[in-house]
């Protein structure tokens, strides 16, 4: 078996690994991502019914140390961080003082630190946000550059991954050995398919990805195929489908990302008031377009001649046809109603997930 940690192993940057595999790289939220490796339909099938490998290194990452790290984070996040034991994780939101979303985040609690996985391009802003609220807290905030996440997704994980000793709860995680290499594995959610996130040392990322493909038969999956699964599952992306103009209740992820029993946090009063009294006028919805192809992102969605939202994600799905996501005003109607996409035609509002 290949010694992935050996200095003799070539340590190519991940973009060179993608190109060596035939990927076409394109910009996304300020990062380069592999659009596909030549056959997006085959990659989609692999992720849907087999096993695919997706690069998640475009996500930003922070690390918090210090004995107050979880108590400190608990006062700034919608999810319950204070109660997390080492090996547990959670999904939630950083919110502003008036309750709007600053960023969504995956929190992984380790023995002596906490890892934060953030949307692309958000690490600097969130680090500044955190430092603003450090007073006498024993907390150190730093970039997490030496560990990079790869996502293995699909229902047919090879035995070397399917049999890893991990709890079943979403975002549970542990240090494990894969192909003779120590990695940090987490049960990922919000991927559109069963998934494991493998956090790997940046120095061996290329050789480790090679081993997953060549020794375990995992298929490299590009961004286009992964987006189909995400949109079908109705998973909004922060910075694309929702952002600072939205409340957590408008993202479609309130149930998994907001705790209403944890106590106070920044923006909690507004978020709780919305939950208990109602009041959001918009919600993340699915759109099934009448045409064979979806419209461009950013196109307006209209009801009775009035703009009620914009298309923020869209794809052509082999199972569902031309579909997309949009945060729509409630005046657009409930699932089953028809809206209009100018110069593209009608679309049906669909309850999420699509499939």
* DSSP letter string, 277-311: H----EEEEEEEESSSSPPPTT-EEEETTEEEEE-
Q: How far is CA 75 from CA 36, 50, 207, 336, in A?
A: 40, 41, 40, 40
- The CATH number of 8-280, from 3.40.980.10, 3.30.559.10, 3.30.210.10, 3.30.1360.120, is 3.30.1360.120
8-280 and 281-355 have identical folds: no
CATH of domain 281-355: 2.40.30.110
Domain spans, the chain: 8-280, 281-355
- Structure-token pair, residue 134: 């450090």
- In tens digits, the chain (355 residues) has pLDDT values of 334 333 223 334 588 889 999 999 998 877 889 999 999 999 999 999 999 999 999 999 999 999 999 999 999 999 999 999 999 999 999 999 999 999 999 999 999 999 999 999 999 999 999 999 999 999 999 999 899 999 999 999 999 999 999 989 999 999 999 999 999 999 999 999 999 999 999 889 899 999 999 999 999 999 999 999 999 999 999 999 999 999 999 999 999 999 999 989 999 999 999 999 877 899 999 999 999 999 999 999 999 999 999 999 999 999 999 999 999 999 999 999 999 999 999 999 999 999 7
């Amino acid at each position: 078996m290949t010694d992935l940690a050996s200095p003799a192993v070539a340590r190519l940057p991940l973009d060179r690994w993608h190109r060596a595999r035939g990927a076409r790289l394109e910009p996304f939220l300020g990062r380069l991502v592999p659009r596909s490796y030549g056959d997006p339909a085959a990659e989609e099938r692999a992720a849907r019914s087999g096993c695919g490998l997706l690069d998640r290194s475009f996500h930003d990452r922070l690390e918090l140390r210090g004995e107050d790290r979880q108590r400190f984070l608990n006062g700034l996040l919608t999810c319950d961080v204070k109660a997390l034991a080492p090996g547990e994780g959670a999904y939630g939101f950083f919110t502003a003082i008036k309750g709007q979303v600053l960023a969504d985040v995956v929190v992984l609690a380790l023995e002596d630190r906490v890892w934060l996985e953030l949307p692309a391009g958000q690490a600097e802003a969130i680090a500044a946000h955190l430092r603003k609220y450090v007073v006498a807290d024993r907390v150190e905030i730093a970039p997490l550059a030496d560990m990079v996440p790869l996502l293995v997704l699909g229902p047919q994980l090879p035995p070397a991954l399917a049999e890893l000793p991990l709890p079943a709860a979403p975002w549970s995680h542990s240090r494990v050995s894969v192909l003779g290499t120590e990695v940090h594995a987490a049960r990922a959610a919000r991927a559109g398919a069963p998934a494991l996130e493998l956090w790997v040392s940046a120095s061996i990322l290329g050789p480790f990805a090679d081993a997953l493909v060549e020794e375990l038969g995992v298929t490299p999956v590009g961004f286009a195929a992964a987006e189909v699964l995400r949109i079908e599952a109705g998973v909004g992306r922060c910075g694309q489908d929702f952002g600072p103009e939205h409340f957590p209740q408008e993202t479609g992820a309130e149930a998994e990302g907001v705790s209403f029993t944890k106590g106070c946090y920044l923006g909690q009063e507004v978020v709780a008031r919305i939950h208990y009294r109602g009041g959001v006028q918009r919600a993340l919805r699915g759109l099934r377009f009448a045409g064979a192809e979806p419209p461009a992102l950013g196109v307006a969605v209209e009801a009775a001649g009035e703009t009620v939202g914009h298309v923020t994600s869209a794809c052509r799905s082999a199972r569902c046809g031309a579909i997309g996501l949009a945060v729509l005003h409630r005046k657009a109607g409930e699932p089953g109603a028809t809206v209009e996409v100018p110069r593209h035609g009608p679309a049906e509002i669909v309850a999420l997930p699509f499939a």
